[in-house]
Chains A and B, each alone.
Chain A
Amino acid sequence: MKLGVVVFPGSNCDTDCFYALKEVMKVAVDYLWHGEQARDDYDCIILPGGFSYGDYLRTGAIARFSPIMRSVAELARKGRLILGICNGFQILLEAGLLPGAMVRNISLQFICKYVNIKVEQNHTPFSNFSKSVLRIPIAHGQGNYVIDAHGPAELEEHQQILFRYCTPEGAVTREANPNGSIGNIAGIVNRERNILGMMPHPERCSEAQLGSADGKLIFESIIRYLSA
């Protein structure tokens, strides 16, 4: 099993993802420079958070032209797992690997804090665990997910909504939504369920010392899937 963490100029959660996978999950992981192609033997590619290309133009809009994105699309087509976290999610949207787009948080401010997310599906490679509410941090200025008029129904129909912002008890309410995203969406998968984009940061909560270890459940699920 081999995982890769892509480094774009301006990525800043690359080392955090690398650390969580290597030191906490104890799996083999490499950094993949954005200007190169990813070899065919990666089972999972992580697009980390940060400000690729300084968020110039639009979040993720330039990074999606990086050479490595061709191999990411190719690996995705072959069914390998792709996980985009925060800026990684924004890049996946810009690359057309997931539907929808991001606009600025409804407060127009960057928000960094712990939130709760409800796990809507357990039958994906990323969410094969029983806990239904995760305590997990967000840190973004543009996590307000939007999609065209038919989008929400289609996402529902194909069970693509994986995470929604919720209260600690699991209620999906307006108050629990930190950024104004439609349907409280915090993370979605593609129809094939091998690409996940999520705004919250599982790598920031994979050790209890950091305030929560719920993020580890997502990495464990990925590793279980890849080991099977």
Chain B
Amino acid sequence: MPERTPLSDPAITMELVSDHGLSEEDYNHIKEILGREPSFTELGIFSVMWSEHCCYKSSKLLLKTFPTSGQRILQGPGENAGVVDIGDGLAVVFKMESHNHPSAVEPYQGAATGVGGILRDIFTMGARPIAMLNPLRFGNPSIAWNRYIVNGVISGIADYGNCVGVPTVAGDIYFSDSYNGNPLVNVMCVGLMDKKDMTLACARTSGSYVVYYGNATGRDGIHGATFASEELSEDSQERRSAVQVGDPFMGKRILEATLDLIRARVVEGIQDMGAAGLTCSTCEMAGRGAKGIEIDLDCVPQRAENMSPYELMLSESQERMLAICPRDKIDQVREILTKWDLECCILGTVTDDGLMRVKHGGRVVAEIPAAKISDDSPVCRREARTPEYLNRLTKFDPAAVEPPADYNPALLELLAFPTIASKRWVYEQYDHMVQTNTVVSPGHSAAVLRIKGTNKHIALSCDGNGMYCYLNPYIGGMITVAEAARNVVCTGAEPIAITNCLNFGNPEKPDIFHQFAECIRGIGDACRELNTPVTGGNVSFYNENQGEAVFPTPVIGMLGVIDDPQWITPSGFQDEGDCIVLLGPEVTHLGGSQYLYQRMKVVVGPCPEMHLETERKVQAVCREAIRAGLVKSAHDLSEGGLAVAVAEACLRSERQLGAVITMNAQLRLDIALFGEAQSRILMSCAPSSLDSLMQLAKVHNVTARKIGTVRGERLIINRSVDLSIASLQEAHHTVP
């Protein structure tokens, strides 16, 4: 039993327990697990491990409803990252995480350490990180503070990712007042490995050494996980000390050293010290292997003086790794670490007694059954209630909005709208080419990377429209998956698995929990229908500012595989005279559209519909048409509707080709052009392929219409739009 250590340790009172975010019930449970009162250090350990951020207490019951298995899934949720078999003995490892709260108070370091953290999750599995994607949501860019956040986040991502040499190949950025003060900074990393290199975060053999390498431990980031589990308020700016500081050069060295250790087969388990630092890595590795771990904190390299055991266990200093190393391999481990100028510190050993035992100054300061910390973590059954606003907003009839008097400026303004405008000003700050695998660069619907040494390519996309989820969380959840899948299908890929990052407000509020539960249901249903299991992800709650929640924003990261390079399909038009074909259902309203948001500054109306069966069929037609060689370009319709998709297809053509489009006169033109109906793909094909393409659509019972021709140097739609490609270009490249 631990002794009361340093004199400075406060006495455990219910007030202290409550300050640690633990309830009386939690506290009684802790006493039950320990059979006694916890020490201060132990209280800290339970506090972080039982925070929402680490133990998913509000979400875990619902997350269990996700489909997580499939032929290709080698590792589902629960490890550092999901692992998917792509054939040829290779596996893709991928995961997404959020760094929302740190980025709200310290955008540069918040975003940079988000990148560093997700990279470590990937390479600790044994995979070399080959791509990063960054879904970002920012507040209104006309507010100076938001611009400060935008610039800080983008530089933070760029400086870390560029230095480590992992290309940032895709992302998406939305701007909305909803994210004022609480930006969403999600980072996704994708790694590639030989299947046989897969390494788990698990301590399996008693007597093996517990090895620490990387940065020394400081006082930065103490209670970062707890900070992530509460709402932001005016006081949050004073929480900068909960934000860690990144060192990409150290990140790069631990990346190379870790991959060397794994390939040399000298470690049996490995985990990075991310959220909850040393605490999480020790108790999770011991728990997974049904072992114990004993460590001596005096052996932890420290960069601050007189750190208490509480601080050492809870610090979230970045770029630190913990490996389990068989005794006879320690010399090889030391040699590899020395090559990368890293110190090899043995903190302790794996034991048989199942206890996480922590010593400091010769005394035991914590002794907890390791598996119990995760297995017995609290579960909260939150109340859900349909929010009142839904009735109000969905009653709004968008047809009451006057059509624009002149469609030319209407389209140009929409193209220049920050959410829709080109993000070139962002992705040119990211190295998106390093590693020389990027075949389709940012600026398209999905990125395509080659897998060297094979014919295979992978396609990657991330999507998440918070406005749709706000208007209808269930349908919005489905659309998020469907759109991510559609994006990779358009490149010629077959979607095979997803990861996710679920960004919501305070789950203790029934309105918010309703949004969460419904989004989960939508995502799960779509994943089942489209056969893309969930391999893992992250939940970020408490995304609120001054008590206002952000839009419910689940973000999906989609992985697709392309077996034949000939299938890779661009999104821009290719040749003069090609037919332009629109695949998918008719648009019926303007609800939830960026067009309404941009023109009327309102988020209203019904959310676009989603029929999963139609979606699946549309994607099947696109995939089969591409494989049959019928398709010259394919572009998914999303924000901004048909008009924006056609404009982008013109702008993305290498020769800046124009298009002549004729729309059905029965439909209101503004709805036809700017409505955001789902399950639609814009294709171009040679005139000689048109009949076959139409026939294929008919076989699948999918609506397909020829709507125009690739022609000239202008975009012409009926008699309403007539714009030069140069003017589209100028509008699209507006920097907010």
Q: A residues within 8 Å of B by Cβ?
A: 9-10, 12-13, 15-16, 19-20, 23, 49-51, 53-56, 109-113, 137, 139, 141, 201, 203-204, 207, 209-211
A19:B438 contact, CB within 8 angstroms: no
When distances are taken between beta carbons in the complex, the residues of chain A under 8 Å from B438 are 210
User: Closest CB of chain B to A96's CB: distance in Å?
Assistant: 24
Give Cα distance in the complex from A203 to B250, angstroms: 26
Give Cα distance in the complex from A56 to B249, angstroms: 9
A13:B439 contact, CB within 8 angstroms: no
A9:B253 contact, CB within 8 angstroms: yes
Closest chain B residue to A211 by CB distance?
A: B441
User: Closest CB of chain B to A138's CB: distance in Å?
Assistant: 10
A54:B433 contact, CB within 8 angstroms: no
B450:A12 contact, CB within 8 angstroms: no
A-B contact pairs, 22 of them (CB 8 A): A9-B253, A10-B253, A20-B436, A51-B162, A51-B165, A51-B248, A51-B249, A51-B252, A109-B155, A110-B158, A110-B159, A110-B162, A110-B429, A112-B429, A112-B430, A139-B431, A139-B433, A139-B434, A204-B433, A207-B436, A209-B450, A210-B438
When distances are taken between beta carbons in the complex, the residues of chain A under 8 Å from B53 are none
How many pairs, one residue from A and one from B, have CB atoms within 8 Å of each other in the complex? 82
Give Cα distance in the complex from A10 to B253, angstroms: 7
B431:A16 contact, CB within 8 angstroms: no
When distances are taken between beta carbons in the complex, the residues of chain A under 8 Å from B435 are 15-16
User: Given A10, A23, A53, A112, which contacts B433 in the complex, CB threshold below 8 Å?
Assistant: A112
**Interface of chain A: mostly helix, strand, loop or mixed:** mixed
When distances are taken between beta carbons in the complex, the residues of chain B under 8 Å from A12 are 163-165, 252, 434
User: Closest CB of chain B to A9's CB: distance in Å?
Assistant: 6
When distances are taken between beta carbons in the complex, the residues of chain A under 8 Å from B163 are 10, 12, 51, 54-55
B428:A203 contact, CB within 8 angstroms: no
Give Cα distance in the complex from A51 to B250, angstroms: 11
Q: Does B247 contact A (CB under 8 A)?
A: yes
Closest chain B residue to A33 by CB distance?
A: B339
A16:B247 contact, CB within 8 angstroms: no
When distances are taken between beta carbons in the complex, the residues of chain A under 8 Å from B434 are 12-13, 16, 49, 139, 204
When distances are taken between beta carbons in the complex, the residues of chain A under 8 Å from B431 are 110, 112, 139
A13:B165 contact, CB within 8 angstroms: yes
B429:A209 contact, CB within 8 angstroms: no
**Apart from A49-B434, A51-B163, A112-B429, what 10 extra A-B contacts exist at CB < 8 Å?**
A9-B252, A23-B452, A54-B247, A110-B159, A110-B162, A110-B431, A111-B428, A141-B162, A204-B434, A211-B441
Given contact pairs A9-B340, A204-B436, A53 touches B429 in the complex (Cβ within 8 A): no
When distances are taken between beta carbons in the complex, the residues of chain B under 8 Å from A209 are 439, 450, 565
When distances are taken between beta carbons in the complex, the residues of chain A under 8 Å from B433 are 112, 137, 139, 201, 204, 210
Q: Does B331 contact A (CB under 8 A)?
A: no
When distances are taken between beta carbons in the complex, the residues of chain A under 8 Å from B429 are 109-112
User: Given B249, B428, B430, which contacts A10 in the complex, CB threshold below 8 Å?
Assistant: B249
User: Closest CB of chain B to A148's CB: distance in Å?
Assistant: 30
When distances are taken between beta carbons in the complex, the residues of chain B under 8 Å from A9 are 249, 252-253, 340-341
Q: Does B432 contact A (CB under 8 A)?
A: yes
Give Cα distance in the complex from A151 to B113, angstroms: 41
When distances are taken between beta carbons in the complex, the residues of chain B under 8 Å from A50 are 165
Closest chain B residue to A12 by CB distance?
A: B165
Interface string of B400-439 (1 = CB under 8 A from A): 0000000000000000000000000001111111111011
Closest chain A residue to B128 by CB distance?
A: A15
User: Given A53, A137, A141, A211, which contacts B249 in the complex, CB threshold below 8 Å?
Assistant: A53
Q: B residues within 8 Å of A by Cβ?
A: 155, 158-159, 162-165, 247-250, 252-253, 340-341, 427-436, 438-439, 441, 450, 452, 565
Give Cα distance in the complex from A54 to B340, angstroms: 13
B428:A112 contact, CB within 8 angstroms: yes
User: Closest CB of chain A to B145's CB: distance in Å?
Assistant: 21
Closest chain B residue to A203 by CB distance?
A: B436
When distances are taken between beta carbons in the complex, the residues of chain B under 8 Å from A20 are 436
Give Cα distance in the complex from A109 to B435, angstroms: 21
Give Cα distance in the complex from A49 to B435, angstroms: 11
A112:B432 contact, CB within 8 angstroms: yes
Closest chain A residue to B437 by CB distance?
A: A210
Given contact pairs A9-B341, A110-B158, A54 touches B249 in the complex (Cβ within 8 A): yes
Give Cα distance in the complex from A49 to B11, angstroms: 55
Give Cα distance in the complex from A12 to B255, angstroms: 12
Closest chain B residue to A210 by CB distance?
A: B436
- Nearest 4 pairs of A and B residues by beta carbon: A12-B165, A54-B249, A51-B163, A16-B436
User: Closest CB of chain A to B177's CB: distance in Å?
Assistant: 27
User: Closest CB of chain B to A219's CB: distance in Å?
Assistant: 13
Residue of A9, A12, A51, A207 with highest tally of chain B CB at under 10 A? A12
User: Closest CB of chain A to B154's CB: distance in Å?
Assistant: 9
User: Closest CB of chain A to B430's CB: distance in Å?
Assistant: 6
Closest chain A residue to B166 by CB distance?
A: A12
User: Given A51, A55, A113, which contacts B428 in the complex, CB threshold below 8 Å?
Assistant: A113
User: Closest CB of chain A to B429's CB: distance in Å?
Assistant: 5
When distances are taken between beta carbons in the complex, the residues of chain B under 8 Å from A16 are 434-436
When distances are taken between beta carbons in the complex, the residues of chain A under 8 Å from B441 are 211
When distances are taken between beta carbons in the complex, the residues of chain B under 8 Å from A15 are 435
Give Cα distance in the complex from A87 to B504, angstroms: 42
User: Closest CB of chain A to B109's CB: distance in Å?
Assistant: 15
When distances are taken between beta carbons in the complex, the residues of chain A under 8 Å from B452 are 19, 23
Closest chain A residue to B435 by CB distance?
A: A16
When distances are taken between beta carbons in the complex, the residues of chain B under 8 Å from A204 are 433-434, 436
Give Cα distance in the complex from A210 to B432, angstroms: 12
User: Closest CB of chain B to A112's CB: distance in Å?
Assistant: 5
Give Cα distance in the complex from A19 to B436, angstroms: 9
Closest chain B residue to A109 by CB distance?
A: B429
A139:B162 contact, CB within 8 angstroms: yes
Give Cα distance in the complex from A53 to B452, angstroms: 28
Give Cα distance in the complex from A115 to B450, angstroms: 23
Closest chain A residue to B248 by CB distance?
A: A54
When distances are taken between beta carbons in the complex, the residues of chain A under 8 Å from B164 are 12
When distances are taken between beta carbons in the complex, the residues of chain B under 8 Å from A53 are 249
When distances are taken between beta carbons in the complex, the residues of chain A under 8 Å from B159 are 110
User: Closest CB of chain B to A55's CB: distance in Å?
Assistant: 7
User: Closest CB of chain B to A23's CB: distance in Å?
Assistant: 8
Closest chain B residue to A112 by CB distance?
A: B431
Give Cα distance in the complex from A51 to B159, angstroms: 10
User: Closest CB of chain A to B171's CB: distance in Å?
Assistant: 14
Give Cα distance in the complex from A159 to B249, angstroms: 37
Closest chain B residue to A53 by CB distance?
A: B249
Residue of B430, B433, B441 with highest tally of chain A CB at under 10 A? B433
Give Cα distance in the complex from A137 to B76, angstroms: 38
When distances are taken between beta carbons in the complex, the residues of chain B under 8 Å from A51 are 162-163, 165, 248-249, 252
Give Cα distance in the complex from A54 to B440, angstroms: 28
When distances are taken between beta carbons in the complex, the residues of chain B under 8 Å from A55 are 163, 249
Give Cα distance in the complex from A50 to B159, angstroms: 12
Give Cα distance in the complex from A43 to B25, angstroms: 72
B439:A210 contact, CB within 8 angstroms: yes
User: Closest CB of chain A to B337's CB: distance in Å?
Assistant: 13
User: Closest CB of chain A to B536's CB: distance in Å?
Assistant: 27
Give Cα distance in the complex from A210 to B437, angstroms: 7
Closest chain B residue to A23 by CB distance?
A: B452
Give Cα distance in the complex from A112 to B434, angstroms: 10
